[in-house]
Chains A and B, each alone.
Chain A
Amino acid sequence: MLQYILRRILWMVPTMFGITVLLMLVISSAPGDPAAIATAGSLETQAEAGADTASTYEKFRERFHLDEPFHVRYGLWVSDVVTLDFGPEFFRPNTQVSTELWRRLKVTVPLSLIATLLSYLIALPLGILSAVKRGTFIDKLITLGLFLLYSLPTFWAGLMLMLAFGASGLDWFPVIGLHDKDASTFDTWTYVWDTVWHGVLPVATMTYGGVAYLSRQMRVGMLETIKQDYIRTARAKGLDRRTIIFKHAVRNSLIPVITVFATILPILIGGSVLVETIFNVPGMGLYAFEGLVSRDYNIVMATVTISSFMTLLGFLLSDILYAVVDPRIAYE
C-alpha cells in the first residue's frame, strides 16, 4: 500500500507538469492581453492623450516576462513556484499572489468545510432513509425535494435566500460579507457569533446542491447493496434491521460517495464564484474569477494549479478510502 501511495505521489509530478504546461499555453493564447489592460489604465479608465502607452505596454510585458518565449516564461514560473512563490499580481504589483491566496483560503476553507460537512451529515442519512423506505411516500417526498433542490441554480437560490431572510423578507440574517460593519469593536465571542451568523446564508447556498447530489449517490449505493446476497443472509440470520443497515449495508454503499469525495478537496480550496459574488465574500472563487477577467496570469496559474493539485490529492485519498471501506480492494 505504501509503495502504491508513493508511486501515485511520484506520478503527480509529470501530471502536474502536463497540467501547468497546458494551462499556461491555454491562458497565453486566449484572447485578451493584460498589457493592453495596463496600457488602458485599468478596467475603468483609458489612457489619456499624450500618454506614452507604447512604453507602458512594453514595460509591463518586460516586468512580467510576457515578452519572453514560452519555455523561458514557464521555466521562470516553475523556478518560483517550487519555493511557493506565485509572483506578484499584475495589477497590484505590491501584492504577492501567495499572500493573497493565504488570505483568501482563510475565508474559503472554513466556509467550504462547513458546507461540505453539512452536506454529508444531511445527505447520507437522507439517502439511507430514502433507500430503506424505497417506494414509500417518504422516499417519494425526499426524492422530489432533492430533485427540486438540485435543479435550483445557485445564483437564483442565493438571491432568493437573501430576499427571504434579509431585510426584504424576514430580516433574520445579514446578507453581505462575513462580518458586521462594527465587527472590529466586538469582543472575541461576539465576533465569532457574528461571523457564524453572517455565514448562515452563504453556507446554506453552498450546501443545498451537495445535499441533493450526495443523497442520491448514497441512495443508489444503498439500493445496490441491499440487493446483495450477504444482506439477504443477514436477514435470514435474524439480525435486526438496524444492524443490517448500519453495520453491513452502509459501509459497503459508500463507494459511490467516496468517488465524489475526490472532488471535495478542490471545492474546499476553490470556493464558489457565484456564492462569493452574491454575498460579497472575498474568497478563492472570486479571486480566480477576477484573475481570469483581468487576464492576471499569475493569479490564474496559482489558483488553477492549486486546484489541480488538490484534485489529484483527492483522487489519491479516494483510492485509499476504497481500500479502507472495502477490504476486497487492495493495491499492489
Chain B
Amino acid sequence: MTSSPTAPRSRLPLVLSTLVVLLVATTASRARQPAETTETETRAAAPARAAADGKLVMTPALEAAGVTEADLQGPHDPPVDRLHPDGQVEPALGGRLIMHVSSEPPNLNFAIENSASIRWTHYDVHAGLLQFSPITWEYELDVAEAYDIEDALFLKGGPGDDFTNIRYGKIVEETADAYVLESGSRYHPMERTTVPKAEVESVERETVWTFTLRDDALWQDGHPLDARDVHFSWSIYANQHVDCDEKRFKYEKIKRVDVGGELPERVVRFFWDEQYFGTQGAFGLDFCILPSHLYDLLDPDHPRHDPNASLEAQGTEINENVHNIEWVGLGPYRVTTWERNQYLAAEKANTYWKKAPEESGYLDEIRWRYIKDDDAAWQALLNDELDVFNRVKSEDYFGEATRSETFRSRAYKALTYVGNIGYTAWNTRRQKLSDPRVRQALGHAFDVAGWIETNYEGKALWSKCTSFWFGDQYARDIEPLEYDVEAAEDLLAEAGWYDRDGDGIVDKDGEQLVIETLMPSGNKASEKFLQALQDAYRKIGVKIEIKTYEWATLLEKVLDRDFDAVNMAWTLPTPESDPMQIWHSSESGKRTSNHAGMNDPEVDRFIDEGRRELDYDTRMEIWHRLYERIYELQPYLFGWNVPRKIAISKRVHGLKLYKFEPGFRMRDLYLEAGTPGTRPIADR
C-alpha cells in the first residue's frame, strides 16, 4: 500500500484532503434543526449496498459514476476499445507508443528502489516468479512454470541453527494427537510421517514454496535464467550493505532458500518462518529477480568474478551496478535508451518465451516519457508527443478541454476506478481527538455523499474502509454515518465538548476544539475540500485551521506525529491488502503508516488473526469485522475513491480498462493494421 499527496506534481496517484474545525456559536443546548436527507445523499450512499448474496448490484449512482455491469462482476477480461470513438479495429504489429510518467525513478532495480513508477515499467521489461493479473485478480505463473506448497511443523526446542528441528511436508491429516505429513512436492521425496502433537511447538502452514523455473526463460542478454539467480536475489536482503532496507524486512522472514544439491538446476525451495496470507503477493508483487551473472561477484560468470569478495564489495556491486540503469530483464521488452529527465525506451525483446502478441505485446517500442508538470503533459498529448496520459484533471475531463476540437480530433477519454481512497486522518494520540465520540461527531458533521455529488459530479465512490472498493476485502455491510448535524452535536456534548463561553467554538477543560489540519501545498482538491470541511464543522462549533506545507515538511510532520489531522490518500495495488501498516498498534509508534495512532486491542486481534488465516472466506470475514470496528472508531474521516481519468490518442487501439494502476497495460495496445511503420500480424 502506498500513499502520496495529489500534490502539484505528484506523481503519483492519489487524492488528498484534510479537515479542520471552525465553529459557530453553537451550544449544546441550542435549538437544532433535524438533518435533511437529500436526494444526492441517497444516491451516493447507494453504491455501498450489495445484494443478499454479497454480489455487487448496479444502482443509479454507480451507473452515473461510470461504473459498468462488467465492473461489478469482479475479475473479468474487460472489453477492448469500449470507449474508442472508432470502435475496434484489426491490430497490427509494430509501431511505438509513448506513455506519460510524472516521476522518473532513480534506477530500474526494483530490489533497491521502491518507486511506484518502476512497477509499471517492470511489468513490461521484467518478469517475476509470479505476476498479478488485472484480469483474473490472481497471481499467475510467470517465469515459474509450476510451484508446490508445503507446511512446516516446528518442533519443541526451537528450529535449531540449521533448521533441522522442523518437519516439512504437506499436512494431509490431523488427528487429536498427531499430524500426518506427506510430500507435497515432487522435489521433496519423503515417507508418510506421523508427528505427535506433543512434539510440536507450532504449525506453520503453506510456508514451504517450491518453484520450478521455465526452461526457456532467458535474460535479455541471452543468458539462461537459473535457480542461482533466484537464490542470489533473495540473499541480497541479508547483506546489510545493499540499499534495500525498504524491502529487507519482508524477505528476512524467509529463513532458508535451497537450490542445487539434490534439487534440479531450475528448482528453488523457499522456507518461510511463519504462515502469512500475503506470501503469494511477496513473490508476485515485490520479489525482484536479478541476473546473478551481472550482479553477483561470486558468480563465476560475472565479468569481475571474485570468489573472495567481501559483503561490502558485493553490496557496492549491487547498489552501483551499471545495469541498474541499463536494465537487463526477463520481460517482453528490453530497455534500450534512458535519456535522463526525458524518457525511457524499450524495444521488443526476442528472448521472451511468449511469442503471441496478445501476451507479449504488439508494439515494437514502448516509451515512458517523464514530464513532471501535468499541464505540460496535457499539452504534450495535444501536440502528439504523448499517446497516453493518465492524470487528466477533473476540470479538464469534464470540462471544455476534452470537448474542444483540438482534443477530439486527436484523442479520446476514458475513466476507470483503480484502487485508491482519500482520507483525513485524525491524530488519536491528541487528547482532544482521543475520544471516539468526538471523531464520530466529525463523521456525522460532513456530508460526504453530497460532496461527492457536487464536487465530483457523482463520479467518485464513497469508501468506508481502506480496502479495494470492488474487492471481497471491502466491508460492504458497513452502515455509513449519516450526515446529521444534530447527532454530531449530541455526541460532542456527550463527550463534554460544548460552547461554555459563547465564542462559537466548543470547549472542554479550558481547551477549544480547534483542529490543525495539514495539507500539501498546491493541491487544489484538498484546499477545496478543507474549505468545505471548515464550513461544515463551523456548524457544530469545531474550528478547522488549514495548514499548508510542501511535501517534505508535511511528511516530516506526519512521521513525527506532529499534527492534529492530515489529508492524504492511499493507493491499493491489489484486491487484498495487509491492514497491518495502517491500523496495528505496533505501527503506531514508528515512523510508518499508522498516522492516526490506532491503538485498539480488538483491531490488533483481527489483524493478527487475519494475517495468519489462510482460508479465503474466513479471512474475508475477519477483514470485514476489522473494518467495521475501525469504522466505528472513526480514526479517519473516510473519503472517496476517485476514478483514474485517462486521455489517449485516437491512433491507439486495444485499450482495456483495469481496476489497478495505472488502469491499463501498454502490452494490450496496438496500432490499426495498415498504419505506416507497422506490419500485419501474419508476418509475426
Contact = CB atoms under 8 A, between A and B. Distances in A.
Nearest to B611: A49
A244 interface: no
B591 A32 contact: no
B380 A280 contact: yes
A236 interface: no
A103 interface: yes
Contacts of B380: 175-176, 280
Interface string B518-559: 000000000000000000000000000000011111011001
Contacts of B292: none
Given A47-B591, A48-B246, A94-B106, A39 B559 contact: yes
B592 A92 contact: no
A181 B370 CA distance: 12
Interface residues on B, range: 35 or more
A52 B245 contact: yes
A100 to B, nearest CB: 8
A44 B373 contact: no
Contacts of A47: 246, 581, 591-593
A280 B339 CA distance: 13
Given A44-B4, A47-B592, A176-B376, A94 B324 contact: yes
Interface stretch (A124-132, A141-149, A161-169, A248-256): A161-169
Contacts of B514: none
Nearest to A180: B385
Given A44-B4, A44-B10, A176-B379, A53 B592 contact: yes
B2 A43 contact: no
B385 A177 contact: yes
A92 B10 contact: no
Nearest to A182: B96
Given A167-B383, A282-B341, A43 B11 contact: yes
B410 A167 contact: yes
Interface residues on A, range: 35 or more
Contact of B98 (A32, A54, A56, A181): A181
Contacts of B246: 41, 47-48, 51, 56
Interface in A4-45: 31-34, 36-37, 39-45
Contact of B556 (A33, A53, A279): A33
A8 B403 CA distance: 61
A286 B367 CA distance: 22
B555 A36 contact: yes
A20 B373 CA distance: 31
Interface string B357-389: 000000000010001110110011011110000
A159 B385 CA distance: 17
Contact of B340 (A41, A43, A168, A282): A282
B406 interface: yes
A177 B106 contact: no
A55 interface: yes
B337 interface: yes
A321 to B, nearest CB: 36
Contacts of A37: 551-552, 555
B552 A46 contact: no
Interface string B548-590: 0111110110011000000000000000001011101001001
Contacts of A263: none
A43 B372 CA distance: 13
Contact of B114 (A45, A168, A277): A45
Interface in A70-125: 91-95, 100, 103
B254 interface: no
A43 B4 contact: yes
A56 B245 contact: yes
B12 interface: yes
A295 B550 CA distance: 11
B245 A59 contact: yes
Q: Which of B246, B560, B584 has the most CB of A within 10 A?
A: B246
Contacts of A282: 340-342
Nearest to B410: A167
Interface in A265-282: 277-280, 282
Contacts, number: 178
A308 interface: no
B43 interface: no
B250 interface: yes
Given A43-B551, A94-B107, A176-B383, A48 B1 contact: yes
Contacts of A32: 550, 552-553, 555-556
B133 interface: no
B249 A51 contact: yes
B591 A31 contact: no
B591 A36 contact: yes
Q: Which of A100, A184, A280, A293 has the most CB of B within 10 A?
A: A280
B3 interface: yes
Contact of B593 (A44, A46, A57, A295): A46
A36 B559 contact: yes
A176 B593 contact: no
B548 to A, nearest CB: 13
Contact of B367 (A34, A162, A181, A293): A181
Nearest to B321: A94
Q: Which of A91, A94, A293 has the most CB of B within 10 A?
A: A94
Contacts of B592: 46-49, 51, 53
Given A31-B553, A46-B592, A280-B373, A184 B337 contact: yes
Contacts of A279: 376
A210 interface: no
A176 B247 CA distance: 36
A100 B104 CA distance: 15
Nearest to B549: A31
A224 B375 CA distance: 45
Q: Which of A40, A41, A56, A93 has the most CB of B within 10 A?
A: A40
Interface in B98-146: 98, 103, 106-107, 114-117
Contacts of A168: 379, 382, 404, 406
23 contacts: A33-B552, A36-B559, A37-B555, A40-B559, A41-B114, A42-B103, A42-B114, A44-B2, A44-B4, A44-B13, A45-B4, A46-B2, A46-B592, A49-B580, A52-B249, A57-B591, A94-B107, A167-B384, A176-B371, A177-B385, A184-B337, A280-B371, A293-B552
The 9 closest A-B pairs by CB, nearest first: A49-B581, A32-B552, A282-B341, A44-B12, A92-B106, A49-B580, A56-B245, A50-B249, A32-B553
Given A55-B245, A95-B106, 16 more contacts: A32-B556, A47-B593, A48-B250, A52-B249, A56-B245, A56-B246, A59-B245, A92-B106, A93-B106, A94-B107, A94-B320, A166-B383, A168-B406, A278-B376, A280-B373, A282-B342
Interface of B: 1-4, 9-13, 98, 103, 106-107, 114-117, 243, 245-250, 319-320, 324-325, 337, 340-343, 367, 371-373, 375-376, 379-380, 382-385, 404, 406, 410, 549-553, 555-556, 559-560, 578, 580-582, 584, 587, 590-593
